[in-house]
Structure 1
Amino acid sequence: MYFCYADDSGADQGRTLTGLLVPEEGWNDLLHCWLEGRRALEQTWGVAKNTELHATQFVKGRGRPCATEEQNAAFGRRARIAAHDLMVRHLTRCASLRVLTVAGRTAQVADVYQGFVDRLEAWALQEDTRVLIMYDGQAGPDDTSALTPAEAKAVWEQAVRNATPYRAAHRGLPLASRRVLEDPIMQDSKYSQFIQAADLVGYAAFHHLVLQHPEIWPKMNPVHAMSKAYRRLSGHWLPGHGEQGIVWLGEGEEEEA
């Protein structure tokens, strides 16, 4: 069985969704590689191991992730991009890791998610395996202590409703043969190292695509270093899913990038 940690990226009329796939027997190795990267990140720039990582922070200079103001002042754009690359390089050390990105000319992430699930279902059938998907999103509020019972119930119900299109993608699979098991398991990136990893890889894949298709994202200024980071994972791109591990969902048909 494979665990799949997924996050979306993109802008305007083009959306992407990237999944990191790891077999159950490779899960410990992937976590070891990632935590080694986190240790290097802390030793080099002072980014604490429990600090949530967001690709936009590294690329756009948002937030103050370092332990001291002196370290934050030194953690400029060039250093942040280098930090992003460091974490991707550590992911490449896990031999069993597989990466899949699905992209669509649409503003609706749910449409791309459906294509993502369909691709994983077909791949898992071919490989005679099964997949559990962990997707970036809140399953409910972190803390309800400041809410009335009615308010807490309303927040939980809203979180459940927000996940409706993603549950539908799973429940639409044929029950007798389906390989993508269960509903999507929503995980807040704040508490999931591998959802954060999917965010970093997904953002790199998005910039790689913008460089190739500027007509879809004319307002974007792609960062070449992000594309380079994504290409570091070339040995881990899911076989048979595009030459660069990216599948395009076209209008009425699927194209491979």
Structure 2
Amino acid sequence: MYFCYADDSGADQGRTLTGLLVPEEGWNDLLHHWLEGRRKLEEEWGVPKNAELHANQLVKGRGRPCATEEQNKRFRSRSARIAAHDLMLKQLARCESLRVLTVAGRTTQVAEVYQSFVNHLEAWALDQDTRFMIMFDGLSGPLDADALAPEDARAAWEQAIRNAKPYRDTHRGLPLASRRVLEDPVMQDSKYSQFIQAADLVGYAAFHHLALKQPEVWPKIAPVGLMSKAYKRLSHHWLPGHGTDGIVWADSDTRP
């Protein structure tokens, strides 16, 4: 069985969804390499291991993730931020069993891309005779329900459940006798999930890699070439048989 950690990226009329797939027996190895990268970030730039890594903020030099003001000033440069992002993708590439899939769509709706994402994973899992669970970036409920009045907490939980409905319906719409994805999607807040953060970093790089090749989809975006270079570090992990460079379009007439 595989665990799949997924996050979306993109802008304007195009969205992408990237999943990191790791078999249950490789989960510890992936975490080892990721945490080793987090240790290097802390040693080199003072970014604590529990600080959330958000690709958009990291690469664009936003936020103050370091432990001290002096470290934040040093880490503010574009070269440092891109080097940190590249370091983490290098670490992910060290996990031999890791697989990466990105699905892109000409839409503003992530849920539409998610449907195609699951369909591709279903076909892959059938071919591999395996099953998988999806952990997807999103809130599973209020962050601090105890601090809310009972009626407010109930409303917050109901809203979180409604927000997950399109993704839940994708799973439940599959034929039960043959489906390979187990359970509903497990919504995880990226702030508390190292692997959702990893999917975000890879997804951001995959988006820039694709935007360089398909500028007509994102005419307002200036893709960062170094993000494409970082994404290529995972070339041996791209899911084979699905699109080009591990990226497949949701609809067949817009494949790269």
TM-score when scaled to structure 1?
0.98
| Structure 2 partner of 1:47 | 47
User: Once the two structures are aligned, what percentage of the paired residues are identical?
Assistant: 76
Q: What is the CA-CA distance between 1:65 and the residue it aligns to?
A: 0.3
SS of structure 2 residue aligned to 1:107: coil
Aligned mates of 2:135, 2:147 — CA distance in 1: 28
Superposed CA deviations along residues 202-256 of structure 1, whole A, max 9, x for unmatched, are 0000001111111111110111110101111000000111230000112xx3664
Matched residues in 2 for 1:82 and 1:168: separation?
39
Aligned to 2:215: 214
The residue correspondences of 1:139-154 to structure 2 (distance < 5 A) are 139-154=140-155
Q: Structure 1 CA distance, aligned partners of 2:255 and 2:132?
A: 22
Gaps (5+ residues) in structure 2?
Answer: none
- 1-side partners of 2:147 and 2:36: how far apart? 37
- Counterpart residue type for residue 91 of structure 2: H
1:32 aligns with 2:32: yes
Q: Deviations over 1:170-207 (max 9, x none)?
A: 00110011101100000000110000000000000000
- 8 A contact 1:58–1:77 mirrored in 2: no
Distance in 1 (alpha carbons) for counterparts of 2:218 and 2:243: 21
Report the equivalent of 2:71.
Answer: 71
- Map 1:13-28 onto structure 2 (within 5 A): 13-28=13-28
Higher mean C-alpha displacement, 237-246 vs 84-93: 237-246
Aligned-pair distance for 1:120?
0.4
Does 2:124 align with 1:128?
A: no
Over the aligned positions, Cα root-mean-square deviation in angstroms equals: 0.9
Aligned residue type for 2:97:
S
- Tell me the amino acid that sits aligned with residue 170 of structure 1: H
Q: Using the alignment, how far apart are the partners of 1:20 and 1:14 within structure 2?
A: 20
Pairing 1:177-256 to 2, within 5 Å after superposition: 177-250=178-251, 253=252, 256=255
- Offset, 1:145: 2.4
Q: Distance in 2 between matches of 1:239 and 1:134?
A: 22
Q: Secondary structure at the match of 2:100?
A: strand
Structure 1 residue runs of 4 or more that deviate by more than 2 Å after TM superposition: 253-257
| Amino acid aligned to 1:70 | E
Counterpart secondary structure, 2:127: helix
Structure 1 segments unaligned to the other structure (5+ residues)? none
Q: Is the 8 A contact 1:6 1:18 kept in 2?
A: yes
Work out whether residues 247 and 255 of structure 1, in 8 Å CA contact, stay in contact via their aligned partners in 2. no
Q: Distance in 2 between matches of 1:236 and 1:60?
A: 26
Instruction: Find the residue that maps to 1:41 and give its secondary structure.
Output: helix
- The amino acid that maps onto 1:221 is A
Deviation at 1:144, TM superposition (A): 1.6
**Is contact 1:170–1:180 with CA below 8 Å preserved after alignment?**
yes
SS for the counterpart of 1:233 is helix
Hey, what does 1:104 align to over in structure 2?
A: 105
Residue of structure 2 equivalent to 1:8: 8
TM-score by length of 2: 0.98
Cα distance in 2, alignment partners of residues 218 and 122 from structure 1: 32
* Aligned residues between the structures: 255
